[in-house]
Amino acid sequence: MNKRIEVRPGSLYGPDNLPYCVFAPAQGDYRVGARLADSVIDLAVALDDPVFAQPSLNAFMAQGPRRWHAARDRLRTLVDGEIPAEAVHLLAEVTLALPVQIGDYVDFYASIDHATNLGRLFRPDSEPLLPNWRHLPVGYHGRSGTVVVSGTGITRPCGQRRTDSGTPDFGPTRRLDIEAELGFLVGVGSELGTPIGAEEFAEHVFGVALVNDWSARDIQAWEYQPLGPFLGKSFATSLSPWVTPLAALESARIPLPGQTPGPLPYLRETEKWGLDIDLTITWNGQPVSYPPYSRMYWSPAQMLAHLTANGAATRTGDLYASGTISGPARQQRGSFIELSWGGNEPVPVNGQLRTFLEDGDEVVITATAPGPVGMRLGLGEVRGRILPAAQR
């Protein structure tokens, strides 16, 4: 028996979107699906392809762009008609999992507005951007083992914090923060010693997913010099269960705002890989910020080119993220350290003035992008609630 999935006008998850996920029905194992409206389509059944009968997207992503496009074309043809009934599950009745088996994780610092804001906060008497910032996409290597799927509770981390005396103590962070980001998932890896050119981006990257890179600002502030982020970042990074393929974002591609000075040759783009994606950050049910990805200074193609410029290998399932997405206006800032200006300008949240996250707080980040013919596409959400610090 076949059935047709109803897609209401204006749906963010119509046949031009079809983001991927890994899901489990009420009775059954985890497998790969795609979203249409409020349903999840079991791709192993609908496309009769065993590569989708696995608990991650990795095997499919490793097959490369030609296979990605062929499967998407088959799926779009299928959803225009009727789908085998046994392949259709209501979204509300399935469990979503981490969509990929994460390889390496790298986080960048690609928003000029975010970098400028933090420079003004931390170095008020100096130039906000450090001398290298306009010459390369600054980043650090994260911890892949603490990348968790949206909805996973985030335990308040403990670490060393500087006291008023200038010496440290140890305890739960008092300045727990978010970073609203866009993540990029590598489908086809590269060999050790072989850089990936900016023009090869779409041959290697499968799709995008929303990221919240949780940050303990007081732990980070004490530890980050001289070698950069460590325990203040590595305790948790939340990833959306929905992976939007690059092919769905064709209408969202835009030129970068402009780079001065022009980048070195290995970072020069031959295609436009800026992305017109609008994010919304909701804190305990109240929208508090609307970061625009269109303002990002460095593109994901440039990030990948720089990540591999020294010959570093990449693998299927590698995740790299944009860093905090912020705009020039206060209501466009993608972290609470910016939104509250270091805790000095509290934010109204449900009638209370707030700065950093308290136990029980929930943050949800959503995003949309332009689709064909004036439509909007949804990129899902990444959600997390703060749990008390573990008892020692």
Residues with a catalytic annotation lie at 114
DSSP category for residue 194: -
Which DSSP string corresponds to 310-326? T---B-TT-EEE-----
C-alpha torsion sign, points 303, 305, 307, 313 = positive
Closest C-alpha among 5, 14, 2 to residue 372: 14
Task: Give strand pairing partners of 321.
Answer: 107, 183
Query: Hey, what amino acid is at 210?
Result: L
Phi, psi for residue 122 in degrees, rounded to 5: -95, -25
Query: Hey, what amino acid is at 354?
Result: R
Q: In the chain, helix, strand, coil percent, each to 5?
A: 25, 30, 45
Contacts 24+ apart (CB under 8 A), 61-67: 61/100, 61/185, 61/186, 61/187, 61/188, 61/206, 61/316, 61/317, 62/187, 62/188, 62/189, 62/316, 63/187, 64/187, 64/188, 64/203, 65/187, 65/188, 65/202, 65/203
d(CA 252, CA 243): 15
Q: Under a CB-based contact definition with an 8 Å cutoff, are residues 55 and 29 in contact?
A: yes
d(CA 284, CA 215): 18
State the distance between the two ends of the chain, measured CA to CA, in whole angstroms. 56
